[in-house]
A and B are shown apart, each in its own frame.
Chain A
Amino acid sequence: MADAGADAAVKHPRRQRRLGLEPSRPTRYGLRFVALLYVGLLVLLPLGTVLWRTFENGVGPVWEAINQPDVWHAFRLTALVAILSVIINTIFGVGMALLLVRTRFPGRQALDFLLDLPLSVSPIVVGLALILVYGKNGWFGGALGDAGIQVIFATPGMVLATVFVSLPLVLREVMPVLREVGIEQEQAAQSLGASALQRFRRITLPTIKWAVAYGLVLSLARSLGEFGAVKVVSGNLLNRTQTATLVVEQKYQDFEQPAAYAIAFVLVFVAIIAIVIISIIRPKEDR
C-alpha cells in the first residue's frame, strides 16, 4: 500500500545542506568569535567573578554568611513570593493566551498590547503605582486596612508587585504555540466526545506543556530576581519584608561583601539549575 515511503517521510532536517546559504569559512569563524566575545563579556565574566569572589576563601565562610537568621528569613520570603507569583502567572497566562488566541472580541488587540506594558514599565514605577492604589491613603488601601488586610509593606503587596513585573512571561511563551497548532486537534477531540475540560487536559495542556514550562522558569527567575518594585512596596524591613535581593543590597552597603556575594551566588545558582532541569527533561525531538 502507501507504506513504502513511510520511513523516507520521516524527515532529517540536519542532513539537508542549505547550499548557497551557508556562509563562507572566515565569515563563520568571525561570527562565532563575535558571539562568544559578546556573551563572554556580558554574561560569563561578571557571573564568573561573582562565583570566584564567593568561593575566594573556600566553602566555610560562604556557609557562615548564609547561615544567618535574617538571610534564611529572606530566602523563605523570596521563595514564598516567587512561588505564589509563578502560580498566579501560570494560571493567568494560560487562560489569557487561550482567550487571546482562540476568541475574537472588541478590544482584544488593546488588551494584547496592554499585556506587554509590565515588561516595559520600570519596576520602581510599578511599586509606586501599587502604593498609590493599595497604600494606606490609596484607593483601596483604606477599605482593605479596615478589613484587616495589609497589602503594602507586607507579603500581599510584594506578591502583587512580582506578579505585575512577570505578568506576560508565561503568556508570551504559550501564545505562539497555541497559534501554530490551531484548533483542529481540539475539534477532532470534540467530535470524539471530549468535553471542554477533557479537551484542555488531554489535548491543549500536553501541546503547550513545554511552552508553559519555559514561561514558568522565566517567571521564576524574574520573580527571584525582582528588586525595584519589591523594594518600594515592601518597605525593606529586616526580618519582615526583606527578600534575598534586598538583603544582597543591604549587605553590600553594610560592607559585608562576602555575605552579599554568597547570597547572590545562591540566586544565580537556583536560576541556572532551573534552566538546566528544563533542558534535560525536554524531549529531544522538540525544536
Chain B
Amino acid sequence: MGIEARNVVKRFGSFTAVDDVSLNVTSGNLTALLGPSGGGKSTLLRIIAGLESPDGGRILIDGVDSTGLPPQRRGVGFVFQHYAAFKHLSVYRNVAFGLEIRRRPKAEIRKRVHELLELVHLEQFADRLPSQLSGGQRQRMALARALAVEPKVLLLDEPFGALDAKVRKELRDWLRRLHDEVHVTTLFVTHDQEEALEVSDELVVINNGRIEQIGSPNDLYDKPANEFVMGFLGPVTQLGGRLVRPHDIEVLLTAEPGTIEATVQRVQRVGFEVRVDFATPASAAVTTVQLTRGQADSLGIRDGLRIWLRAAPNASTIVAAPSLAKTL
C-alpha cells in the first residue's frame, strides 16, 4: 500500500534525471524526498503524479499499477511550489474545484469546503481571489484544494520553497500537525535538510538520480550511509582522517588515550554557540568544533591554546575517503 516505485528511469536527452530508483512509501506516513537541486527528486514526484512519463519502471499507488494512467485518474493530490492557484476563481471555488468536477451535490460541496477552509485557517477568506492572499495563505489554499478530493496520496513539490523563512517555519509546523490530523500518505520534496528532519517520519535522500539512503530522520542523522548523506544532513568536520559532526567532539586540556593534539586557530561566536577552528599537526585539515559559550569559557579557549581532541563516545564517524564511504 502507499506508493511504490519500481526501477523508475527518466532521461532528458542524454541526462539521466532518475536512474533506476525503487522506493516504498509507507501508507499514512509523511515522507520527505531530500536532495540537492537537479538531483531528480522533483522529477520522481512528477512521475508518481503522472505529470511526467517514465522511460522505464512502474508506479503503484495503493497497490494499483498507475504507470499508464493519466493524472486525473491516479487519485493523487499535487501541491506546486508556486501554488498554481486558479487565479480567476475565489478561494472557495478553488477548493471546491475537484468536487465540482466530480459533480457532488451542492450542499455536500459547501459542507466539505467549509470544513477544509477551517482546517487550513482560511474560513474568513472564502470569497477572496488568490491575488488577495499572501504566499503562505495561497499555499494553504492549494493544500485544502488537493485534500478536498480525498486523494489516496498527497504529493508536495517544494511546497514552502517560495516563502520567506519565518512563514516557511510556521507552515512546516502546521503541515506536521495537519498530517497528524488527516493521516493521508504524503510525499514531499525539499532541498532543506532542516525541514526534512523536522517534519518527516521517513527520509529519502536522493542525489544524481539515485537514492543514497532511506530511514528515519534520527537514523540518517546518526548513522549516515556515506559521506554525501552525512554532509547533506548537517555540518561535518574532519578529525584524524574521519568525518565527524562538530558538536560530537570532546575538547580536553590534557592528553588522554585516543586524543589528537591541536591548537586553537580561530574563535568565532555565533549567537549562543562558539565555533572554534583547530589546526592539528598530524594532518593539514582544519577541525571545527562547536561548543556552548559555557564550555568555551570554562576551557579558557583563546587563540594559540594547545589542546587535545577526540570524538565523543557515541558520535557517528565515517572514514573520510569517498571510495570507502559505504562502510560504516
Q: Chain A's nearest CB lies how many Å from the CB of B75?
A: 9
Please tell me if the beta carbons of A192 and B174 are within 8 angstroms of each other in the complex: no
* Interchain CB contact (< 8 A) of B134 among A3, A190, A207: A3
Q: Across the interface, do A193 and B78 meet the contact criterion of CB distance under 8 Å? A: no
How far apart are the CA atoms of A10 and B133 in the complex, in Å? 7
Q: With a CB–CB cut-off of 8 A, which chain A residues contact B149?
A: 192-193
1/0 per residue, CB under 8 A from A, across B127-151: the answer is: 0000111111100001001101100
Q: Which residues of B contact A1 (CB under 8 A)?
A: 121, 136, 170, 174
Does A198 sit at the interface, judged by CB under 8 A? yes
Q: Please, what's the 1-or-0 string for A170-206, where 1 marks a CB less than 8 Å from any CB in chain B?
A: 0000000000010011011111111100100011001
Cβ contact within 8 Å between B80 and A184:
yes
Partner among B70, B86, B137 whose Cβ is within 8 Å of the Cβ of A3: B137
B170, A9: Cβ atoms under 8 Å?
Answer: no
Which residues in chain B, 168-210, are within 8 Å of chain A measured between CB atoms?
170-171, 174
CB distance from B123 to the nearest CB of A (A): 11
Interface pair B146/A191, CB less than 8 Å apart: yes
Interface residues on chain A, size class: 20 to 34
Q: Is B240 an interface residue (CB 8 A)?
A: no
CA distance A194 to B85 in the complex (A): 15
Pairwise interchain contact A2-B101, C-beta atoms closer than 8 A: no
Q: For window 266-287 of chain A, which residues contact chain B by CB distance below 8 Å? A: 285
Bound CA span A190–B146, Å = 11
A6-B133, A6-B137, A10-B131 known; A191 vs B49 contact (CB < 8 Å): yes
Number of A-B contacts (CB under 8 A): 87
Inside 8 A of A184's CB, which chain B residues have their CB? 80, 82, 84
**Contact (Cβ within 8 A) B171 A193:** no
Contact with B along A1-22 (1 / 0, CB 8 A): 1110110011000000000000
Does residue B97 face the partner (Cβ distance < 8 Å to A)?
A: yes
Q: Is B215 an interface residue (CB 8 A)?
A: no
Give Cα distance in the complex from A17 to B196, angstroms: 42
B132 touches A10 (CB 8 A): yes
- The CA-CA distance from A285 to B88 in the complex, in Å, is 11
B111 is an interface residue with CB less than 8 A from chain A:
no
B84 touches A188 (CB 8 A): yes
Q: Give 23 A-B contacts (CB < 8 Å), ordered by A residue.
A: A1-B136, A1-B170, A2-B134, A3-B134, A3-B136, A6-B132, A184-B80, A185-B84, A185-B86, A187-B51, A187-B71, A188-B78, A188-B80, A188-B86, A188-B145, A189-B97, A191-B50, A191-B78, A192-B101, A193-B72, A195-B72, A206-B89, A207-B88
* Top 8 closest pairs, chain A to chain B, by CB: A2-B136, A192-B98, A184-B84, A188-B84, A9-B134, A191-B78, A206-B88, A190-B71
Residues of chain A touching chain B, judged by Cβ–Cβ distance below 8 Å, are 1-3, 5-6, 9-10, 181, 184-185, 187-195, 198, 202-203, 206-207, 285
Given A2-B136, A9-B134, 8 other A-B residues pairs in contact with their CB atoms under 8 A:
A3-B137, A6-B133, A10-B131, A187-B84, A193-B149, A194-B101, A206-B89, A285-B131
Interface residues of B (CB under 8 A from A): 49-51, 70-74, 76-78, 80, 82, 84-89, 97-98, 101-102, 121, 125, 131-137, 142, 145-146, 148-149, 167, 170-171, 174
